[in-house]
Structure 1
Amino acid sequence: MADCNATKHPMEPKTQLHKDLEGTPVDATEYRRIVGCLRYLLHTRPNLSYSVGMASKYMERPTIMHHRVVKQILRYLKGTIYFGLVYIKGSQEIGIFGYSDSDLAGDLDGRKSTNGMTFYFNESLVSWNSQKQKTVALSSRETEFMAATTAACHALWLRSLASELTSVKPKPVTLFVDNKSAIALMKNPVFHGRSKHIDTRFHFIRECIEKGQIVVEFVNTGEQRADVLTKALPGVKLAAMRQLLGVRDLQSCQD
């Protein structure tokens, strides 16, 4: 793939992978080796988290369909080989904020959703995650609610870590969510009948909001920085999200 043609996105928009039991198998050892190498890139290339994560799910029996996705990622890397995260020195006072997002039933095999979250110290991205949910959600409100709860647990850990490093009293963490219905469910102390079936552990975020540890605010989908961690985006939107994440062309930065 060293001489391959570059592409503008690591995964074609609206791509949906599945186990493909009737597909033609490919060399599983080579597939695992490539995916294993790609996972190292996720430490500096958060915009690859979703596509590499999807490819990682099918290492047991990869087929031509899955191998095509891996080759697409390599073609994307050919054109963005010098890209990476850039950190800019900011104020001494650390402010933590994050973004939480989720798709709905994106996994064709188990109909589970994918969580995406990003957290910033001031304007520098320090933590991100793209992970399949453990339970099936019945609506977009429900899957966003569960994703925000997972993000809230991570936010509290970052809040405690920042306080320990700076010896400053921890401040509330602002969490941006792009679903107003999910936000209403988080902030309303009344236990809705519609949320009765949601596992009790996901209601942890309500307690965090009541204690003032987490502040949840609405953000437009176009400014949702965790969107790139939940689905494959078209080239223009991917470039915009990459910019918001802080991924830059390091070669041009040096020039």
Structure 2
Amino acid sequence: MLIASRQKAVIASVKAGIAEKFRTKDLGKARFILGIEIDYDMERRTSGISQKAYTESIIKKFGQENAKSCLTPLEPGVNLTKADEPQTEEDRAKMKSKPYRSLVGSLMYLACGTRPGISVAVAKLSRFLENPDQRCAIVFDGLLGTRLEAYSDADWAGNRDDRRSVSGMLLKLCGAPVVWRSTFQKTVALSSTEAEYMALSDCVKECVWMRRRLKDIGAEQVEATVIYENNQGAMALAKNVSYQARTKHIDIRYHFI
């Protein structure tokens, strides 16, 4: 169990309260937990987390010690579809001998922990757990204030099989990512504006939840949370939800903004 506070007295009080009801052992300042390393810089009064040891264990486990790194975890423009899946029994048998599921699961834990930058790549690869192909190769790239800000984006019709779009969001606190997600949208968007608007709606809901959590712990956000969005149509629609012929079909739930 991790206990964190700006005041040592509060930490001591919590420890004492727990010790009254349970047998405990104080391990001192946290350095490592669940594969996550915690580093402290007392001069700068900062702390950080990483999964270097866990990442190196993945690389060694799957025999990627000599693999070349690249600037991005997935090359731009790469679209994996069901058409890329093995079509013959020989190819299927060949891929079944590879620990594909284990590898994707290991990377998913890494993406959820400290490496949001690989979330999209892992999400794409996880769609082929049942029948992966050689194209589903993993590239290891460098795996070796309380202000809340958010980023929203969408990949319109990114899935070539059913043309659904992918919503992506990132929430940062004090410049560090605290919430990130990459998911398929439930319906097919008819335009990039609609796809971005749906993603923006989900991002706003996440911001509302996070603002409430911050208020509960004494870090209330007085100013409005800034959400960065790059689609002019979605931004215009968010500011003016009046009747428009091209957007009248959008479900009311997305007008939550």
Q: Same fold (TM over 0.5)?
A: yes
Q: Of 175, 181, 184, which aligns to 1:123?
A: 175
**Residue in structure 2 matched with residue 185 of structure 1 by the alignment:** 237
CA contact (8 A) 2:164 2:186 kept: yes
Asked if 1:6 is matched to 2:6, the reply is no
**Residue in structure 2 matched with residue 208 of structure 1 by the alignment:** none
CA contact (8 A) 1:28 1:59 kept: no
**Residue in structure 2 matched with residue 214 of structure 1 by the alignment:** none
| Alignment partners' CA distance in 2, 1:124 and 1:143 | 26
Go from structure 1 to structure 2 and tell me whether the alpha carbon gap of 1:38 and 1:158 turns closer, same or farther (over 3 Å shift): same
**Residue in structure 2 matched with residue 53 of structure 1 by the alignment:** 123
Asked if 1:17 is matched to 2:102, the reply is no
**Residue in structure 2 matched with residue 65 of structure 1 by the alignment:** 135
Q: Of 90, 102, 106, which aligns to 2:154?
A: 102
1:113-158 Cα deviation digits (max 9, x unpaired): 1111111113222111111111111111110100000101101000
1:169-197 Cα deviation digits (max 9, x unpaired): 65422211111111111111413232111
CA apart distance, 1:167? 6.1
1:85-140 Cα deviation digits (max 9, x unpaired): xxxxxx3xx32110101111110111011111111113222111111111111111
Counterpart AA for 1:48: I
Is the radius of gyration larger for structure 1 or structure 2? 2
TM-score normalized with structure 2 length: 0.68
Q: Of 80, 93, 100, which aligns to 1:31?
A: 100
Asked if 1:150 is matched to 2:202, the reply is yes
Q: Compare relative contact order (CA 8 Å, sep 6+) and give the higher one, 1 or 2.
A: 1
**Residue in structure 1 matched with residue 4 of structure 2 by the alignment:** none
Which stretch shows the higher mean deviation, 186-195 or 128-137?
186-195
CA apart distance, 1:29? 6.5
CA contact (8 A) 1:28 1:60 kept: no
Which stretch shows the higher mean deviation, 132-141 or 162-171?
162-171
Q: CA RMSD in A?
A: 1.8
Which stretch shows the higher mean deviation, 26-35 or 105-114?
26-35
Go from structure 1 to structure 2 and tell me whether the alpha carbon gap of 1:190 and 1:55 turns closer, same or farther (over 3 Å shift): same
Q: Is there any run of 5+ residues in structure 1 with no aligned partner, and where?
A: 83-90, 206-255
| Alignment partners' CA distance in 2, 1:154 and 1:52 | 22
How many residue pairs are counted as aligned between the two chains?
187
**Residue in structure 2 matched with residue 195 of structure 1 by the alignment:** 247
1:59-87 Cα deviation digits (max 9, x unpaired): 01112222xx22x2x3x2xxx144xxxxx
| Alignment partners' CA distance in 2, 1:149 and 1:33 | 33
| Alignment partners' CA distance in 2, 1:34 and 1:21 | 18
**Structure in which a larger fraction of residues adopt helix:** 1
CA contact (8 A) 1:114 1:133 kept: yes
